[in-house]
Amino acid sequence: MPRPRRCRIVGGPPGCALFKPAGIPVSRLKELVLEIDELEAIRLADREGLYQEQAAEQMKISRQTFGRIISSARKKVAQALVEGMSIRIEGGDVRVSGLRSFKCFDCRHEWEVPFGTGRPEACPECSGNAFKRTDGLVMKSGAPGRGCGPGGEKNAK
């Protein structure tokens, strides 16, 4: 029996959930699913230029597991590009570790709070409630990804 999958730490939810070739309706395309942890592996290795050991440390997984994830992610992206498929980003045993940004429209104050702390009740500067997320990353309940609880245990859905 295989070991249970370990929760993977990601810097934030994906900025969008679907990529597709231009000019073709998504209904006419084959779809490929890229898990959120696979996207994070691409971000860390290819965009940030981290070595696999460093990236694995950030995601709280082994270097070997990171190697399998990045290999799978690159293969999926290459297949989608070559075959003209859409890429849906969702799923995976992930927990967000990062910051959310807010801006108050009353006093123009900007601040950040960690993911998982809930929506602020008011602006910390003027106590107003006319503020909005500015990072463009909104994770709604039931968002893609199974999520993990404290200590990396998987939550039941």
pTM higher than 0.75, yes or no? no
Q: Please report, in tens digits, the pLDDT of each residue of the chain (157 residues total).
A: 777 777 888 887 787 899 999 999 999 999 999 999 999 999 999 999 999 999 999 999 999 999 999 999 999 999 999 999 999 999 888 877 777 788 999 999 998 888 667 889 999 999 999 999 876 443 333 344 444 544 333 333 2
- Asked whether residue 105 is domain-assigned, the answer is yes
31-34 vs 99-104, strand pairing mode: unpaired
Residue 8's identity, in one-letter code, is R
**Residue 104, strand partner residues:** 131
Together in a domain, 73 and 35: yes
Question: Looking at residue 147, what is its pLDDT?
Answer: 46
- Asked whether residue 12 is domain-assigned, the answer is yes
Task: Determine the Cα–Cα distance for residues 57 and 59; give it in Å rounded to an integer.
Answer: 5
94-96 vs 8-10, strand pairing mode: parallel
Residue 146's SS3 state is: coil
Question: Looking at residue 145, what is its pLDDT?
Answer: 43
Together in a domain, 84 and 112: no
CATH number of the domain bearing residue 65: 1.10.10
Question: Looking at residue 55, what is its pLDDT?
Answer: 95
Burial 112-124 (b: 16+ CB within 10 A, else e): eeebeeeeeeebe
- Asked whether residue 150 is domain-assigned, the answer is no
Together in a domain, 88 and 123: no
- Asked whether residue 31 is domain-assigned, the answer is yes
β strands within the chain, DSSP E: 8-10, 18-19, 31-34, 86-89, 94-96, 99-104, 110-114, 131-133
Together in a domain, 54 and 104: no
Together in a domain, 38 and 88: yes
Domain count, the chain: 2
